[in-house]
Amino acid sequence: MSNESVMGSSLGGDRVFPPSPEFVAQANVADAAIYQTAAADPEAYWAEWAKKLDWIEPWTEVCQWNPPHAKWFVGGKLNVSANCVDRHLKTARRNKAAIIFEGEPGDSRVLTYQDLWREVNKFAGVLTNLGVTKGDRVTIYLPMIPEAAIAMLACTRIGAIHSVVFGGFSADSLRERINDSKSKVVVTSSGSWRRGNIVRLKDTTDAALDGGACPTIENVVVLSRAIDPTMVRMVEGRDHWWHRLEESAPRLTEPVAVDSEDGLFILYTSGSTGKPKGIYHTTGGYLTQANATFQWTFDIKDTDIFWCTADVGWVTGHSYVVYGPLAAGATVLMYEGAPDWPARDRFWATIEKYGVSVFYTAPTAIRSFMKWGTEHLEKHDLSSLRLLGSVGEPINPEAWLWYHENVGHKNCPIVDTWWQTETGAHMITPLPGIVATKPGSATRPFPGITLAVVDEEGNPTPAGKDGLLVIQKPWPSMLRTLWGDDERYKNVYWSKFGEKNLYFAGDGARQDEDGYLWLLGRVDDIMLVAGHNISTMEVESALVDHHAVAEAAVIGRTDAIKGQAICAFVTVKEGQTADEALIKVLKAHVGVKLGPICRPDDILFTAELPKTRSGKIMRRLLRDIAEGRALGDTTTLADPSVVSGLKDKYEQSE
Ligand code: ATP
Ligand code: MG
């Protein structure tokens, strides 16, 4: 049951983009031999990276693998905040910008490494005064402001485990995560700016906590932002202003020695596939791989200004706004607000304002920019950019090319990085000075990562054939378990291939003749039409390939004859007419690109697609709609009204 004989490919492979000689000449890593060196002895290779960190006590063993549990840098002790801040003070980086902050209203702040050190020390003292000690959990519910990084680093300074909850989550979601992690303290802010409005985070925190709904919470720390402090409800004895607590806290807090395998953070996944899982990461291995991938994937130099648009509430924000950049002593930009506020050129204006040189964003954002049109970019000088990145979903080749031409002006390599909350750091990505890219392919594993595309039995699939992505050897930043539920950890990730001990990522993939990896989306989303596996990703890319289409989500709905019928939800670009004629054109377009079997049976136009708060398309809800079922868990949706509106529209169209 393969699709290679019945469909063409929208995923190309015909267009190859090698890095320019100028890029290669200055690249951090340009010798392809690194792939062989790392593969020959991954442990020795990772140990070299680990040695780039400051250790308080050395490790005695690089990796201990008792499937499915791994330990890295066993016996070693270190402190994450000391690695991300203190050690830079001994170098010329002391006076370098660590964090450049751009608030949505246009307020701006720069924290040098020295400034960051002072703030982290003070806030570590605050947490200590509140009785937080090593191993305790702290929930951080903050907007994209420097205090989010400061609170995270302060936790690491005293060995507390943080659980960052995205500031856009509801009271119910926050409560569920607080209770699952049994946090002692919540750190939040009174408010934050989003599209010119004030988001009242403290009110949401109150709604989560009130009535004793979170029995483990002893204290709430509130940072003052966006709201007059006298207008904020403070519960006596429970709630404290951040700045008041700092007045009585010690100015210095020594970093504690933390075991390499002690907990660093818990992070609940975005929930594209159901109930959020508490992904548990530990210290030494995580920091090693976050640092390594940050430096090589993004080819980072001391002069770079790196901007990752992800919120700190997602793993991308953990690894590439906070830990990777700061461990590397880089300068990172944090932006608080929306990409279309006050206008649709905000990102481009921000790149121009700060001279951003490396820009890392998500396909969902790129598709919005495509929909809005290029006039917003043309107003700005983007010549400071030298490298672009993508993460979060497979990137449609059309979106890749648009990014390449309009943002990168054809001279920035694009790194399409595949990884997961569970993997902690990049797993598949081009090294931009070595690997020629193909639009839509994440290319090859990062050096030191051993993975494969396999069939249902766990045997490698031949080139060109669809299969399942598995990771064959433990890697430093892998999740150690699911918080409080090791059985679920074993079941979800390790049970599929039994004795073979393969980590099952849940994604489908294909490897081409050149060994390039093409991610095909979540296995749960893959359709089975008249006996043929068809990737939702490929049909979506064929739709987006049409000039009228901005975005598409494709699902398989149960069909008495074919098993599944292909149902497409399509958003058109601004100025395009979404009518019956276009439906015919699009069905034909997909038929020509991929073969008649891939022609959508239904196409429904919609202004928005249902997405998680991290911007990923939630196909399982579209399946519920198309099959007339009650909707599954919708708590992680960005905008629940999109789904209810679509449900009505779909029912009317039948
Ligand atoms: P949940 O596991 O709760 O359903 P999630 O999988 O969306 O949520 P993340 O860990 O943030 O949570 O996302 C990882 C997933 O995102 C990957 O498994 C993959 O499906 C997708 N993904 C991330 N980056 C890429 C990429 N570059 N190419 C293709 N898919 C990607
Ligand atoms: Mg996942």
Categorize the per-residue pLDDT at 327 as very low, low, confident or very high, splitting at 50, 70 and 90. Answer: very high
Ligand 1 atom at shortest distance from the alpha carbon of 422: 10
CA distance 253 to 126: 10
136 within 8 A of 186, measured Cβ to Cβ = no
Ligand 1: does its nearest atom lie under 6 Å from the Cβ of 526? Answer: no
DSSP annotation of 35 reads H
Is 142 within 8 Å of 245 (Cβ atoms)? no
Rounded Cα gap, residues 551 and 608, in angstroms: 9
* Beta strand 219-223 pairing with 185-189: parallel
Report pLDDT digits (tens) over 71-123: 999 999 999 999 999 999 999 999 999 999 999 999 999 999 999 999 999 99
Task: Determine the distance from the C-alpha atom of residue 374 to the mean position of all C-alpha atoms in its chain, rounded to a whole number.
Answer: 26
Pairing of strands 503-511, 466-471: antiparallel
How far, in Å, is the centroid of ligand 1 from the Cα of 637?
Answer: 15
What is the atom index within ligand 1 of the atom nearest the CA of 395? 28
Calculate how far, in angstroms, residue 115's C-alpha sits from the geometric centre of ligand 1. Answer: 35
Q: Which ligand is nearest to the CA of 469?
A: 1
From the CA of 423, which ligand is nearest? 1
Gap from CA of 106 to ligand 2 centroid (Å) = 34
* 261-317 tens-digit pLDDT: 999 999 998 666 667 799 999 999 999 999 999 999 999 999 999 999 999 999 999
DSSP 520: E
Q: Of 166, 176, 265, 269, which is best to mutate to test ligand 1, by the most ligand atoms within 8 angstroms of its C-beta?
A: 269
ipTM tops the 0.95 cut: yes
Task: Give CA–CA dist 275/85, Å, rounded.
Answer: 35
Nearest-angstrom CA–CA distance, 128 and 154: 10
Q: How far apart are CA 409 and CA 322, in angstroms?
A: 28
Return the exposure string of 305-339: e unless at least 16 CB atoms fall within 10 Å of the residue's CB, then b: bbbbbbbbbbbbbbbbbbbbbbbbbbbbbbbbbbb
Query: Is 367 one of the annotated binding-site residues?
Result: no
Q: Is cis: bond before 432, omega within 30 of 0?
A: no
pLDDT of residue 530: 83
Task: Please tell me the number of Cα atoms within 13 Å of 283 on its side-chain side.
Answer: 37
Establish whether 418 is an annotated binding residue: yes
* pLDDT reported for residue 3: 39
pLDDT score of 6 more than 50: no
The better pLDDT of the pair 6, 453 is held by: 453
Is the CB of 270 within 6 Å of ligand 1?
yes
Residue whose tokens read 């206008």: 343
Amino acid at 312: V
Tokens of 338: 């929306």
- Residue 308's SS3 state is strand
Measured distance between the N- and C-terminal CA atoms of the chain, rounded to whole angstroms:
31
Q: How far is CA 46 from CA 52, 73, 273, 409, 543, in A?
A: 10, 10, 32, 35, 42
Closest CA to 608 of 550, 542, 544: 550
The mean pLDDT value of the chain amounts to 94
Contacts of 459 (CB under 8 A, 6+ apart): none
Global confidence as pTM: 0.94
CB within 8 A of 42, min separation 6: which ones? 448, 449, 450, 473
